[in-house]
Amino acid sequence: MIESEHFIPMSKSEMKKLGWDELDVLLVTGDAYVDHPSFGIAIIGRLLTSKGYRTGIISQPDWKNPESLKTMGTPRIACAVSSGNIDSMLCIYTAGRRMRKEDAYSPGGITGLRPPHAVVVYSQLARQAFGSVPVIIGGVEASMRRFAHYDYWQDKIRPGILADSKADILVYGMGEKAILEILGRLSSGKDMSSIRGTVRFPGKKASESFLSDCGASIELPTYEDVTKSPDALMDQTKIIESEMNPFSAKCLFQRHNDRVMIQESPCIPLNTEDLDKIYSLPFTGLPHPSYKEKIPAYEMIKNSITSLRGCPGACSFCGISLHQGKFVTSRSRESILCEIRRLAGRKDFRGTVSDMGGPTANTYGHRQSGGEICEKCKRVSCLFPEICRHYNVDQHALMNLLEEAARIPGVEHLFISSGLRLDLAMRQKAQSAKIIRNNVSGHLKVAPEHLDDEVLALMRKNPSKDFLEFIDLFREETEKSGKKQFVTPYFISNFPGSTDESTKKIESFLHKHRWELQQVQDFIPLPLTMAAAMYYCGKSCDGNKIHVNKGLKERRPQIKALKKGIPN
């Protein structure tokens, strides 16, 4: 087991300091190695070392040279590959399909240190470097490309990522349970079938055997059908979404020519006790000392605390529900307070906890309380079109936690920066009021996304009145506090179904309130999401035709309309 003063090794010399002559598992990532639980590769690395696996990390290797993976030798059990915290295409390219000027996950923000379609490239590199050593792929990019999917940047349908990567198995979702099961089976020579949270792509003969006895498994439209018919992508997306409940989901499969891509049911989410154990692992909380330049993504999160996992909202443009799932797991109060105490004890801590949240900060302490009803439920969202009666909206857990955290010696400020879900905020008025008075850094991020209710429904967001009511609450509580602070709203331009006319509702609101937006997010269809299917086929999920802007010329008017604004 690696102690907190040690990083997971990135070189032979670091291995020797730990007394290791070889690795059991090599992790390859497109991000810089930051030993902080906000970085997925750090979580997997720390988990594996805690279980006795000698684990090394190679960060941002030279993807044109297989030798760049051999610096610590050939791993004994497996090589596990991730593009990093986000999809590599999203990291490299903008909504306008232009190269981004910064890679926030690279030292100095330097671009060009990760390849497009990084999971495919790294997997093929690992195969060249290590021959028959099993290759495991995981992380967001692998997870959201696990079946046939629309790639916005290439503007085409691509096969499930196992077909291109040639990896042995894919881990989708949060991978702690699946990776341990995979490594256990590899170590004992067992096969990889029926592991929850994984996708396999067996050869022709094994695929025929599966098809001859696929039982209650559900077949998706074939890869060939999806390439020919946009409607087939919509059909596929609806099936995948309906089979994301880990307590009742069935096995899914999709034919790719004469082979079958097989997805096992999602992993059962970690409970609070298990999530606490993950965050108690001996992270240093720092970038690897080999980096001489700052890593922008780390600078943003270095003083932040993750309080929960999962998102009950399932917004159609977001991949969290397809990756983390809709069931919320909150860390225990003591686990979070212990992490804040550790943070406050660091020499570089300046008294401010920059964020305490997760996918949505104000779902802390929430739970789906319907028991067997929730375990069988196929609703994609617990919050849309209305909040389910079995979804327990708690506001006292977070309020009490904020009060206790504020009393920790050395903590002068504790902010909520990861945003609030507005439909919940207006049902948690006491909590929202407390956050506005005490936990805003000057600007509170909220994401109404749009102000046209028909577009909001396509997004699976509740009506715009929630945002308008929240603005009134924010102003009232800000005035009471005597502070000067502001709401920072985020809107999406060119979402499927959004017309120039519907965008005028946002434009008029900005003019009326004399707001200038700090940021406008032009819509990007992320692989496997419902919004990507709507964009690709020009229909809503219920089959109605919708307006879709695709070319830059069509997109430009909505972008300009939201960027105009009026300065304060």
In a domain, 299, yes or no: no
Q: Can you give the pLDDT at residue 568?
A: 40
Strand-strand pairing, 198-200 and 169-171: antiparallel
In a domain, 76, yes or no: yes
* 565: confidence class by pLDDT, cuts 50, 70, 90: low
Instruction: Quote the radius of gyration of the chain (alpha carbons, Å).
Output: 23
CA dihedral (98, 100, 105, 110) in degrees, to 10, reads 120
In a domain, 30, yes or no: yes
Give 119-142 pLDDT, tens digit per residue: 999 999 999 999 999 999 999 999
The span from the CA of 361 to the CA of 307, in Å, is 8
Six-digit token string for 509? 């609101």
In a domain, 379, yes or no: no
In a domain, 386, yes or no: no
- The pLDDT > 90 percentage for the chain reads 90
Six-digit token string for 11? 């070189």
Given 263, 281, 302, the domain boundary residue is 263
For the stretch 431-434, contacts whose Cβ atoms lie closer than 8 Å and that sit 24 or more positions apart, written own/partner, are 431/362, 431/395, 431/396, 431/398, 431/399, 432/362, 432/470, 432/473, 432/477, 433/473, 433/477, 434/399, 434/402
- Assess whether pLDDT exceeds 90 at residue 29: yes
Q: What is the per-residue burial (b if ≥16 Cβ within 10 Å, else e) of 127-165? A: bebbeebbbbbbbbbbbbbbbbbbbbbeeebbbbbbbbb
- Per DSSP, the three-state class of 260 is strand
* 8: confidence class by pLDDT, cuts 50, 70, 90: very high
Six-digit token string for 314? 């399932």
- For the chain, how are helix, strand and coil distributed in percent, rounded to 5? 40, 15, 45
CA dihedral (176, 182, 188, 189) in degrees, to 10, reads -170
* 3: confidence class by pLDDT, cuts 50, 70, 90: low
Q: At 483, which CATH number?
A: 3.30.750.200
Sequence-ordered list of residues with C-beta below 8 angstroms from that of 274, at least 6 positions apart, any chain:
176
The span from the CA of 520 to the CA of 532, in Å, is 19
- Assess whether pLDDT exceeds 70 at residue 199: yes
Give 281-295 pLDDT, tens digit per residue: 999 999 999 999 999
The DSSP letter of residue 420 is B
Taking residues 43-60, what's their average pLDDT?
98
In a domain, 246, yes or no: yes
Give 156's strand partners: 151
Q: Can you give the pLDDT at residue 567?
A: 44
In a domain, 37, yes or no: yes
* 548: confidence class by pLDDT, cuts 50, 70, 90: very high
The DSSP letter of residue 500 is H
Given 263, 286, 301, the domain boundary residue is 263
- The pLDDT > 70 percentage for the chain reads 98
Give 327-375 pLDDT, tens digit per residue: 999 999 999 999 999 999 999 999 999 999 999 899 999 999 999 999 9
Taking residues 307-330, what's their average pLDDT?
94
Taking residues 380-406, what's their average pLDDT?
95
Helix residue ranges per DSSP H, 26-175:
40-50, 88-92, 118-130, 139-143, 161-165
Give 473-501 pLDDT, tens digit per residue: 999 999 999 999 988 888 999 999 999 99
Taking residues 377-387, what's their average pLDDT?
95
The identity of residue 76, as a single letter, is: R
The identity of residue 520, as a single letter, is: V
**Of the candidates 118, 134, 105, 122, the residue with the CA atom closest to the CA atom of residue 40:** 105
Strand-strand pairing, 135-137 and 169-171: parallel
Q: At 55, which CATH number?
A: 3.40.50.280
Given 211, 230, 263, the domain boundary residue is 263
More confident position, 156 or 508? 156
- Please count the structural domains in the chain: 2
The span from the CA of 87 to the CA of 198, in Å, is 18
Is the pTM higher than 0.85? The answer reads: yes
Taking residues 419-438, what's their average pLDDT?
92
Give 170-198 pLDDT, tens digit per residue: 999 999 999 999 999 999 999 999 999 99
Residue pointed to by tokens 């890593």: 295
* 524: confidence class by pLDDT, cuts 50, 70, 90: very high
CB 82 within 8 A of CB 120: no
* 566: confidence class by pLDDT, cuts 50, 70, 90: very low
Taking residues 109-117, what's their average pLDDT?
97
Give 443-453 pLDDT, tens digit per residue: 888 889 999 99
- Assess whether pLDDT exceeds 50 at residue 297: yes
CA dihedral (324, 219, 459, 117) in degrees, to 10, reads 60
The span from the CA of 477 to the CA of 467, in Å, is 15
Taking residues 414-439, what's their average pLDDT?
92
A 10 A CB-CB count for 5 gives 7
More confident position, 517 or 332? 332
In a domain, 126, yes or no: yes
The span from the CA of 546 to the CA of 539, in Å, is 5
Mean of the per-residue pLDDT values for the chain? 94
Give 233-253 pLDDT, tens digit per residue: 999 999 999 999 999 999 999
Taking residues 201-228, what's their average pLDDT?
96
Domain hosting residue 473, numbered range: 442-568
- Assess whether pLDDT exceeds 50 at residue 466: yes
CB 534 within 8 A of CB 496: yes
Helical (H) or strand (E) element with 421: none
Q: Can you give the pLDDT at residue 190?
A: 95
CB 306 within 8 A of CB 353: no
The span from the CA of 546 to the CA of 531, in Å, is 12
CB 324 within 8 A of CB 174: yes
